[in-house]
Amino acid sequence: MSELPVPPPPAAPKKAPRPSLAARSFAFLASFGVGVIVLSFLLLLTWLGTISQVDTSLYDVQKKYFDSWFLLEEVGPLKIPLPGAFLLMSVLFVNILCGGIIRIRKNWRTVGVVISHFSILFLLAAGAVSFFYKREGNLKLHEGQTGSLFTSYHDRVVEIAEVGKDGPVLMIHENEFSDLTSGKTRSFFAAALPFEVTLSHYAKNSDAAAAAMRAPAPGTPVVDGFYLRPLDPAMSAEANLAGVIATLKETGGAEKQALLWEVATAPVTHRTSDGRVFTLQFKRQSWELPFTVTLSKFTHEKHPGTMRPKVFSSDVVKRDGGVNQPVKIEMNKPLRHQGYTLFQASYNDKWTPAQPRSEMYSVFAVVKNPSDQWPVWATIMAAVGMTLRFSMKLAEAITRSSRNRATSAPSDRAATAAGSTSPAA
């Protein structure tokens, strides 16, 4: 008796190979989950930033929540670490790039979506370019005055320059010492400097007060009869007047203390033991335009019986490469040249004993932003993409509807016919 053949056991289902690390990383970065988390954090930051503006200046809120990689949010006694909007938008960029551009099915039906996704990437890139490369400041001119230097609204630096030399001016950015309150110090050195600069007692908003006029708090350094009196930060960040104490020390030499206040009208002079002369000044960072502007005439009118400005405009002469061009700058008519835009921003007609009325001047906001027009292009792109997408969806809906009508029409007719032959109830 022969044995019946035993069928082989069924093969175990073949296990799918585990995706590579690169594939898993890509899937993770392209996932909706990452997108949702990032957008949730952005929503949270927007809410926190809005709430914070109750008692913090817009600029400070922007720096803390939106121009940052990370931040610490104080909730009662707790300090909760949060990702800053810059980090979140970087992740969002990668997320949309991976999910909305690379992974998305590409055919004529998704072309509108791809264009819309690309416009968002472009908008995020515009923000990044603006963050890193935008320069913004103001240029103040009296009538008849020519200028080309514009000064930042917010960025401050300690500048150290050697007198009588053409070498570069060394700069210590405010964000490198803005944490030096409560007795903290930090030293700065450079090969070109024969001394070290130790900074301390930073005050974001301060008054350089005379000790004889207002007594300083105990422990406050007094330099030549003056000290930095900390004030509450102004609600308008550009109104803050920052100050810091600098201690200069040569190797083996004596120390010299200097009070650096950003509105000082002359720098601190420091003479080294080998006869070199340096100046130190704490000031708003300044840049030079590649052309000059001369204010010929400033026109200023107020609404009758009020202090509200009605018209203010500046007739200027732009001089570039020996060519003079008269231009009128008004509220919504800026001067654009060589990538720079000069807006009519403000003017001064305040009187103080130290500033007679004849010193009225015009102030121009100067902006250089390589991505200035990118948001416009991104918006146009988004509009094109969305229009395509919605047009296609509309066309699909119309087609589907008419097809449904076409397929349902014979049965409707049959039903109608059947209804007409049945006996009446």
Closest approach of other proteins to the CB of residue 274, in Å: 17
Closest approach of other proteins to the CB of residue 129, in Å: 20
Per CB under 8 A, the list member of 124, 203, 223, 342 interacting with other proteins is 223
Of the candidates 109, 118, 123, 104, the one whose C-alpha atom is nearest the C-alpha of residue 388 is: 109
- What is the C-alpha to C-alpha distance for residues 143 and 357, in angstroms, rounded to an integer? 13
Which secondary structure element, helix H or strand E, spans residue 381, and what is its range? helix 374-421
CA angle 311, 313, 317 (to 5 degrees): 165
Tell whether residue 23 is a contact of other proteins (CB under 8 A): no
CB 265 within 8 A of CB 304: no
- What is the C-alpha to C-alpha distance for residues 415 and 295, in angstroms, rounded to an integer? 86
Per CB under 8 A, the list member of 44, 210, 317, 392 interacting with other proteins is 210
Q: How far is CA 305 from CA 212, 300, 357, in A?
A: 43, 14, 20
Tell whether residue 207 is a contact of other proteins (CB under 8 A): yes
Tell whether residue 45 is a contact of other proteins (CB under 8 A): no
87 or 384: CB nearest other proteins: 87
User: Residue 311: beta bridge partners?
Assistant: 301
81 or 252: CB nearest other proteins: 81
Phi, psi of 50 (to 5 degrees): -70, -45
Stretch near other proteins under the rule CB under 8 A, chosen from 274-282, 312-320, 372-380, 389-397: 274-282
CB 357 within 8 A of CB 95: no
Site mask for other proteins (CB under 8 A), range 136-155, x = bound: ----x------xxx------
Per CB under 8 A, the list member of 269, 338, 391, 399 interacting with other proteins is 269
Per CB under 8 A, the list member of 65, 122, 261, 282 interacting with other proteins is 261
Residue type (1 letter), 327: V
Tell whether residue 244 is a contact of other proteins (CB under 8 A): no
Stretch near other proteins under the rule CB under 8 A, chosen from 2-10, 210-218, 247-255, 329-337: 210-218
281 or 313: CB nearest other proteins: 281
Site of tokens 């993409």? 385
Stretch near other proteins under the rule CB under 8 A, chosen from 102-110, 313-321, 344-352, 396-404: 344-352
Give residue 297's Cα distance to chain centre. 33
CB 214 within 8 A of CB 221: no
Phi, psi of 379 (to 5 degrees): -65, -40
Per CB under 8 A, the list member of 123, 170, 203, 345 interacting with other proteins is 170
Residues near 402 by beta carbon (within 8 Å), at least 6 away in sequence: none
Query: Between helices 85-96 and 32-52, what is the axis angle to 10°?
Result: 150
Tell whether residue 37 is a contact of other proteins (CB under 8 A): yes
Tell whether residue 39 is a contact of other proteins (CB under 8 A): no
32 or 108: CB nearest other proteins: 32
Stretch near other proteins under the rule CB under 8 A, chosen from 23-31, 120-128, 333-341, 371-379: 23-31
CB 193 within 8 A of CB 173: no
- For other proteins, the binding residues in 281-300 under the rule CB under 8 A are 281, 286, 288
Closest approach of other proteins to the CB of residue 77, in Å: 17
- For other proteins, the binding residues in 347-406 under the rule CB under 8 A are 348, 350-357, 359
- For other proteins, the binding residues in 80-139 under the rule CB under 8 A are 81-83, 87
Tell whether residue 15 is a contact of other proteins (CB under 8 A): no
Residue 248 tokens, joined: 């200069």
